[in-house]
Structure formats: structure tokens, C-alpha cells
Amino acid sequence: MALNILVAKGKSTDWMVHMLGQAVGAHTDTTHGMTLAAVSMAYYRFICPFGLAKFKRFAMNVWDVAPEGKSDKQIAAEGLERMEAYMRELGLTMNLRELGIT
């Protein structure tokens, strides 16, 4: 059984960021982790309005974003900002340009 089938039990999933990362890796010969880092933030910000409840939950449960006085959109955005800050702290590649793609 493929991992994505097991992970998907009981919920809808989105593996598009992995497909984008694989496509970038095929053209740049870069590791999958670095290509995921390069495409993920832009992708997550793009899809956030379509899965706002999940991004809000992610922000609160993973990044400890306090919801008081904030809209769902603000909570989700703060979660993504904290994720990006953590990725930068790790020294990950944050966009395609950093992989040499013009």
C-alpha cells in the first residue's frame, strides 16, 4: 500500500507540492527536500484561502499561534510566516531562484 493511500484514510489530501518539487528536481538535479522547500511557501500561500480551516488549525496546533483578536486569515498567515522563519533558520532554499532557475 502506498504511503499516500494510508495517510489519506478518512480525509482529503493534496500532494501537489510534492509533484511540483519532483518536477523541479528533475530539471535541477536538486534533492527532493530542497525542491520542496523552494516551492512550498508560495504554494501554501496560494492554496490557503481554499483550505483556510486547515491552515488555521495548523497555525494554532503546530506553531502555537494565539487566535485571540485575529481573523482566521490572520491566524493562518501567521502560521505560514512562522513556518517560513523556521525554514530560513534551518538554511533551506526558499525559492526557485535560489536553485538557479531563472
Question: What band does 12 get if pLDDT is binned at 50, 70 and 90?
Answer: low
pLDDT per residue as tens digits for the range 23-39: 999 988 888 889 999 99
| Statement: the pTM of the whole predicted model exceeds 0.85 | no
Which H or E run contains 43?
helix 32-47
Q: In this predicted model, what pLDDT tens digit does every residue of 56-71 receive, in sequence order?
A: 999 999 999 999 999 9
* Cβ partners under 8 Å of residue 24, min gap 6: 30, 35, 38, 39, 96, 99, 101
